[in-house]
Structure formats: structure tokens, C-alpha cells
């Protein structure tokens, strides 16, 4: 059932007592002030303006364009700064790495042997990363090998050029080997 509409002419209005309003809690004052609309001609409008919901005028295209340009400029400056920091970090790590390499070669010149690298005869491989290979004729060359999952139970491995090996404990069937070879260029090698 709907309530009948009230006639606004029959509603009684009462003035607000400033003294009572000063004594009231904020909760009571909020209920009192919420339905009030204040016009710009109100004598204390400037004092209560910060409490009103005044819609902002729509921005012009020039203002929107300027805001967008400012955001792009700020983004450009931040990105440029990040690239500069990244470059300085890379240069720092590069110089530290080559200082270490030069230090190792100075050590080798002074003492006649390498500090961290072991000499491995040709044909043998280590799983610890870099090593020096003797070619048998007095020359030496650098080599690297990367073994994934090496174990005593390995029956073979997938070989990826230049020197990556994926060891497997079960040999793959012919279909898997065919697709690994043709699609990924992984060559299967049985362990001898």
C-alpha cells in the first residue's frame, strides 16, 4: 500500500536554533544539515563552501591535452631514468666481471697456473661448467658444457648444440625422438 503524497503547503517549517545546534553532537548536526541546499547568495557562503558538493566545470580540450602531455612527459622522464640506472648497473657488473677475469689472468701470468679452472684432457667432460680443453698438440681451447639432470641411471641424453645435454633415465620412443629432432632440434644420443 502506498502512502498518500503530502501537500508541501501543509507542512510546518521551524527555524534552527543556533544555540541548540552548538550543543548538538556531530551526528545530529549532519542529519539536520544534509537536506539543506545553500545558494551562492547566502551571506556566509564562502565560510561553508568547502563543505558543499559543488560540481567542477568540465575541462576544455586544451586542458585535457595539457594534462595528457604532462603525464606522458612524466612517464618519459621516469622511463629514461630507469634506463640510465639499468645501463649504469650493467656497466658496473661488466667492469667488475672483467676486473675479476683480468685478476685471474694476472695471477696466471705470475704463478703459471689458473686459479679456478682445471685442465681437462680432450674427450673428458666435467659437469661443473667452464673448463679448459687440451687439444693434445700443446694448444688449449675454452669449452663449456651444461648437463641437466646427470645421474648414474642415465640411459642417454638429448643433445642441443653447442654443448647442452638433457639426461634421461628412460629412453624415449621413436615418435617422441622424431618430433624432438624435427621440431626442437634435440638429438637423442644413447649413453655408451
What is the average pLDDT across 142-165?
A: 75
Give the pLDDT confidence score for residue 94 in this predicted structure: 93
pLDDT tens for each residue of 66-120: 999 999 999 999 999 999 999 999 999 999 988 888 887 787 777 776 654 444 4
**Burial environment of residue 131 by CB neighbours within 10 A (0 to 12, 13 to 18, 19 or more):** middle
Give the pLDDT confidence score for residue 115 in this predicted structure: 56
Give the pLDDT confidence score for residue 128 in this predicted structure: 41
Give the pLDDT confidence score for residue 109 in this predicted structure: 77
pLDDT confidence of 38, banded at 50, 70, 90?
A: confident
DSSP line for the chain:
-PPPPPPTTS----PPPHHHHHHS-HHHHHHHHTT----TTSTTHHHHGGGS-PPPPPPPHHHHHHHHHHHHHHHHHHHHHHHHHHHHHHHHHHHHHHHHHHHHHHHHHHHSS-SS--EEETT---SSSEEEEE-SSS-EEEEE-EEES--TT--EEEEETTTEEEEESS---HHHHHHIIIII-PEEEE--
134 C-beta neighbours (distance < 10 Å), count? 15
pTM for this predicted structure: 0.32
Q: Which residue has the higher pLDDT, 25 or 113?
A: 25
Domain extents in the chain: 18-51, 56-116, 119-190
Of the listed ranges 23-27, 136-140, 161-165, the one predicted with least confidence: 136-140
Amino acid at each position: 500500500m502506498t502512502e498518500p503524497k503530502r501537500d508541501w503547503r501543509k507542512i510546518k517549517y521551524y527555524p534552527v536554533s543556533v544555540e541548540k545546534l552548538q550543543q548538538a553532537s556531530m551526528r545530529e548536526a549532519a542529519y539536520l544539515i544534509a537536506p539543506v541546499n545553500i545558494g551562492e547568495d547566502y551571506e556566509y557562503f564562502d565560510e561553508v563552501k568547502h563543505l558543499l558538493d559543488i560540481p567542477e566545470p568540465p575541462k576544455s580540450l586544451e586542458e585535457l591535452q595539457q594534462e595528457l602531455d604532462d603525464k606522458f612527459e612524466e612517464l618519459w622522464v621516469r622511463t629514461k631514468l630507469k634506463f640510465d640506472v639499468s645501463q649504469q648497473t650493467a656497466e658496473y657488473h661488466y667492469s667488475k666481471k672483467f676486473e675479476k677475469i683480468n685478476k685471474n689472468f694476472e695471477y696466471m701470468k705470475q704463478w703459471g697456473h689458473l686459479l679456478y679452472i682445471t685442465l681437462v684432457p680432450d674427450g673428458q667432460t666435467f659437469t661443473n661448467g667452464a673448463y679448459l680443453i687440451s687439444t693434445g698438440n700443446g694448444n688449449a681451447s675454452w669449452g663449456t658444457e651444461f648437463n641437466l639432470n646427470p645421474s648414474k641411471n642415465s640411459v642417454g641424453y638429448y643433445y642441443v648444440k653447442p654443448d647442452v645435454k638433457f639426461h634421461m633415465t628412460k629412453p624415449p620412443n621413436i615418435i617422441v625422438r622424431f618430433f624432438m629432432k624435427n621440431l626442437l632440434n634435440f638429438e637423442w644420443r644413447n649413453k655408451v
